[in-house]
Amino acid sequence: MASKSPSSSNNRLVQWLALALLIIVADQFTKVLILHSFQYGDSHYVLPFFNLVRVHNTGAAFSFLAGASGWQRWFFVALGVAATIFIVWMLRRHGHQTQFALALSLILGGAVGNVVDRLLHGYVVDFIQLHWAGWYYPSFNIADCAITVGAILLIWDELRRVKRG
């Protein structure tokens, strides 16, 4: 197997980091729009199953630890920084594996997007609300979407790898 040249590896890393940056910018841009257009708790109907809302999540996914006394903000920031370091290291080593690196880039962009919120506001701004027949899914944002798609791609990549092996 031929080794990758350093410039090729660096170009791939830059490509994957640029994708993560695109996710961060899109996430922060949409959150700024919501913060400037909505008051906390506002909800605007868009479709029969979709509202735009403004909610603040001091916890993690599904408001996990949202009721804690404030320490969770710094815990999730530290977790996000650790994940960022690990993902960048993985991208440097495996940037040539397209689906794997794509998944990591989406997760990286989403994680950093939510860390930025925690640092700026002390909470994550969520604004996408899906609902049906009186049931409401917990609100989320672009960063959460990127993390979810990235996680699905990671699982799919691993299943393909196991099937090949």
**Among all chains, which residue has been given the structure tokens 């940037």?**
95
Reduced to 3 states, what is the DSSP secondary structure of residue 97?
coil
Q: 27, 117, 126, 157: which is the annotated catalytic residue? A: 126
- Kindly compute the dihedral angle of the four CA atoms of residues 119, 81, 151, 13, in this order, to the nearest 10 degrees: 120
Residues forming a β-bridge with 125: 56
CA 154 to chain CA centroid, Å, is: 14
Structure tokens, 107? 């997760």
Tell me, yes or no, if 27 is annotated catalytic.
Answer: no
CA angle 98-17-94, nearest 5°?
Answer: 40
Tell me, yes or no, if 126 is annotated catalytic.
Answer: yes
Q: 27, 117, 144, 157: which is the annotated catalytic residue? A: 144
CB hemisphere CA count around 55 (13 angstroms): 20
Question: Amino acid identity of 37?
Answer: S
Under a CB-based contact definition with an 8 Å cutoff, are residues 73 and 59 in contact?
no
Catalytic site positions = 126, 144
